Chains A and B, each alone.
Chain A
Amino acid sequence: MTSERIFAYALPALVAVAVVAFWEWAVATFEVSRFVLPPPSEIVEAAVKHWVSLLDSAWVTIRITLAAFALALILGVAFATLFAQSRMIERALFPYAVTLQVTPIVAIAPLILIWVGLDNAERAVLILATIVAFFPILANTTLGLRSADRQLHELFDLYRASRWQRLARLQFPAALPYLLAGMKIAGGLALIGTVVAEFAAGSGTSTGLAWRIAEASNRLEIAKVFAALALLSAIGIVIYAALSLLERQLLKSWHESARPIE
């Protein structure tokens, strides 16, 4: 490991240690109420004490997030592929994709909940999170499919490539870096969408981390709220790291973004 890479990991870790230490010290010294800001030690305590229910809820949130991400990926790529076939289709449908994107999901949550039935809150959350994660995949992939080199397109013309050959061998590979960038955004949004939708869907039958947070804050178990929050952040970081790793693996051999700096 080069010293530069050690720094890249050591510096943020050092900051974390410093902040936690200061937090612990400040809460004790200034006698901050545990109902406003519990010390880190108490948060760890709460996490240990409630770990079964927290992990159960985390699993619900993770499951919905991953399902929403997968659905958004499939739908986004499918619609982008459709758009790449004809500008007419794109012009006809793209405004609705934008409309879906700019409408706050909190506002449509009650409607979706009624449509899928109040007993199926989890399904409503899945639909809402998918809507949130869908757009960056669609927009990026659409752009990517159009970004293949003009001369390469002419080469495919010259050899009378079929539409499918052109898609598979030229447009999809050219769109891959764009798709991966979209996936990194969508991964985070799927988690955010899941959490926001869980809040919006209310208690009902959904028992994800958002519900745990709402429940704990109602009972003024602030330490537990923080423990759940930390878990949410951890999930988000893992999703981002996994997608970054995937991006590096797929692009490292050829794409400019992955070229080592000389």
Chain B
Amino acid sequence: MLLTFDKITKRFPNGTLALDDVSFAVAAGEFVSLVGPSGCGKSTALRLIANLTQANAGRIAWADVQPALGFVFQDAALMPWANVEKNVRLPLELGGLDASKIKTRTAETLDLVGLSAFAKSYPRELSGGMRMRVSIARALAAEPSILLMDEPFAALDELTRERLNDDLRKLWAARNLTIIFVTHSIYESVYLASRLVVMSPRPGRVVADVAMSDPITRDPDFRLTPLYGERCREIRAALKRGEAA
């Protein structure tokens, strides 16, 4: 296992129990979706993995050394004073890469998310979907092997969201990424993930851990298949069980 989330308990400073004895593991190359109701601690789990906050009990173990992480925040979290290119190159500059490498890497990454034409645009000039693309490009610029995503598409309209879902699946396959994707949308998680970890309302516990390995390729038609409907029902049932428990 690339990452083991082992019996983690997290209590906020105000006393709220966010995660209660949560365990799951992620293998290299998986697309894991953490799905659960708002406030179930799934974002906290992501932040724990990124080392942005510390657990009260339990441990997070990596296969060997902790790999490079990319993090995509809920709203795009771009620097409004910097244009697209400068936003994307930020992690490279903080990492102290040399200038010529930063230049080529930034151009490549912008090309990857289809934003080369907007390199000089400022965030306020972009649509919500494009801002999220910039945010994804920024996370990918430093070539992480793990991408952590915290409800990245929650604020986008349906069509933009579906387009970004497809693009994300392609990126995942093309770049051999491991993705941990937090969402409260059953439909989105079933469409995207190769494995689903279903969580209960606060305090968050794992109520189901479902593999979704087939079919490997997913396209918009997948949403019309009986298999897709079947899985959505399954996840919905698991969420209901979590609520009742």
Contact = CB atoms under 8 A, between A and B. Distances in A.
B94 A160 contact: yes
Contacts of B69: 158
Contacts of A156: 94
Interface string B65-104: 0000101011101011110000000110111000000000
B73 A155 contact: yes
B69 to A, nearest CB: 7
Interface string B25-58: 0000000000000000000000100111000000
A159 interface: yes
A170 B79 contact: yes
B146 to A, nearest CB: 12
A154 B94 contact: no
Contacts of A160: 94
Contacts, number: 55
Contact of B142 (A152, A157, A159, A169): A159
B71 A173 contact: no
Chain A contact residues: helix, strand, loop or mixed:
helix
B62 interface: no
A149 B52 CA distance: 15
A254 B80 contact: yes
B122 interface: yes
B71 A155 contact: yes
Nearest to A170: B79
A151 interface: yes
A246 to B, nearest CB: 15
A33 interface: no
Interface string B144-188: 000000000000000000000000000000000000000000000
Main secondary structure on B side of the interface with A:
loop
B240 interface: no
Interface residues of B, number: 23
B124 interface: yes
B142 A155 contact: no
Contact of B124 (A155, A157, A165, A259): A259
Contacts of A159: 90-91, 94-95, 142
Interface residues of A, number: 22
Interface string A161-183: 10001000110011010000000
Interface string A70-90: 000000000000000000000
B95 to A, nearest CB: 6
Given A158-B50, A158-B52, A259-B124, A151 B94 contact: no
A169 B52 CA distance: 19
Contacts of A161: 94
A85 B94 CA distance: 19
A255 interface: yes
Nearest to A174: B81
B71 A254 contact: no
Interface in B93-135: 93-95, 122-124
29 contacts: A149-B77, A151-B73, A151-B74, A151-B77, A152-B77, A154-B47, A154-B71, A155-B90, A155-B91, A156-B94, A157-B51, A157-B52, A158-B50, A158-B51, A158-B52, A158-B69, A158-B71, A159-B91, A159-B142, A169-B90, A169-B93, A169-B94, A170-B79, A173-B81, A173-B82, A174-B81, A176-B81, A254-B80, A254-B123
Closest 4 pairs (CB-CB, A-B): A151-B77, A159-B94, A151-B73, A173-B81
Interface of B: 47, 50-52, 69, 71, 73-75, 77, 79-82, 90-91, 93-95, 122-124, 142
